Every structure is written in structure tokens, then in C-alpha cells.
Amino acid sequence: MLGLYLHRESVIHRLPAGAKLGGLMLVTVIVLTLPGAWGALAAGLVGAAVLAAAELPAGRVLSELRAPVVMLTLLFGFQAVLAGGGWMETAIAVARFAALILLATLVTLTTRVMDMVDLFERLFGLLRPLGVNPAKMALMLALTIRFIPLLGDQVREVRMAQRARGVERNIAALFVPLLVKILTMADDLTAALEARGYDPADTGTKNGTQR
């Protein structure tokens, strides 16, 4: 669902990150206040329109929805069984949330992480009186998105090495080398950030530059 940015020269891509995120929140509120079926329909229509306008490959985008739809179906299905709801309501509830997830996915697919980070940096800036360092928070966000696929690679690598040595499934055996890898990476990363001029003590105030 956290689809990575997919570059296209579309209007949607060019919209500022704030507008897209604001729009997403607005549509979410509207969809959740509308009656179930109408909400699902509205979100679905908006989603389809944005998908077309963003010139993204529909198959690829929709495939990102597969896992969340399965989860939602299980969730609402259980609820229906336990609370005795009908299958129709369950389907509508799933459709409603799936449509919202589609919209959120479209936002992440059409917005560069850097623009998202800039936006969050400004938003976090409002929390500065509470001692929040907006630059640090924003960097953490960027790093999380960057390192999720890398972490997957590491897990695969460690598991492969273990399977090569005949260990098929052993959480502890996976955990230790993975932790070592992550700690080593974190150490190198800290040095690399510092070497590229990032200063963790920086307050994030932008002196002398205009946006």
C-alpha cells in the first residue's frame, strides 16, 4: 500500500503534496459521513478519475490493493460472523475502505518522498514549541521509506544463507544475524549522513533561504 513514487508527467504528479494530502483527508471525511454504498461509490469514482488523470498503469496500481482487500475482507467477515451482519454490508464496508486505500496509494504513487518530507517538515514545524525537531522527524520519515525494501533484501539474504546451510525455519537464527546487519547498517548510515553534511543537532530553521 505504501506504493513507491512512479514518475509521469501528469497534472496529478504536479499538484503540490499539501493539496493532495488535504484532498485525501477531505474525501475521507466525506466518504465516511456518506451512507455506506454511496461512500464507496463516491470514493471509487474519485479514485478512478485520479488514476486516469495520473496516467498510471491501472493493473499495477490495483495489484497494490490486493493484500489490503484480503485483510479487510477477513476483518469485516469476522465482524459479520460475530455480530451477525449480512454479506451485503460486509461487501460495502470492504469496498468503502478499499476505495480509500486506493486514494491513499495514488497519493504516494504520484508524490515524491522529498516533497512529502518537505510538507511534513513544515507541519512538524508547528510542534517545535513542544521540543519536536522537524528536520529530524522528516529525515526519519524519508529513511523509513527508503529502508523498507532494503530490510526485505536483508531478510531474504540471511534466510538464503541459512537455508544453504540446512537451517529451514528458525526465528532466533534469523533474528540475530539480521540484528547485527541492521546495527552495522545503522552505524554506517549515521557516518554517511554526517559525511554529507547532515547535522543532527540542527534545529531545522532555514536561515537565509526562501522557498
DSSP secondary structure of 55-98: T--HHHHHHTTHHHHHHHHHHHHHHHHHHT--HHHHHHHHHHHH
CA 114 vs. chain centroid, Å, equals: 14
- Closer residue to another protein in complex, CB, 37/181: 181
- Distance in Å, CB of 93 to another protein, minimum: 33
What's the CA dihedral at 198, 200, 203, 205 to 10 degrees?
10
- Closer residue to another protein in complex, CB, 52/189: 189
- Closer residue to another protein in complex, CB, 167/188: 188
- Closer residue to another protein in complex, CB, 35/197: 197
Closest CA to 51 of 5, 137, 110: 110
Number of CB atoms found within 10 A of residue 164's CB: 8
- Closer residue to another protein in complex, CB, 4/52: 4
- Distance in Å, CB of 194 to another protein, minimum: 6
- Distance in Å, CB of 200 to another protein, minimum: 11
Determine the Cα–Cα distance for residues 42 and 95; give it in Å rounded to an integer.
11
Determine the Cα–Cα distance for residues 178 and 156; give it in Å rounded to an integer.
10
The residues that touch another protein, with contacts defined as CB under 8 A, are: 4-5, 7, 112-114, 139, 142-143, 145-146, 149-150, 185, 188-189, 191-199, 202, 206-211
- Distance in Å, CB of 116 to another protein, minimum: 10
Contact assessment for residue 91 and residue 39, using Cβ atoms and an 8 Å cutoff: no
- Distance in Å, CB of 88 to another protein, minimum: 41
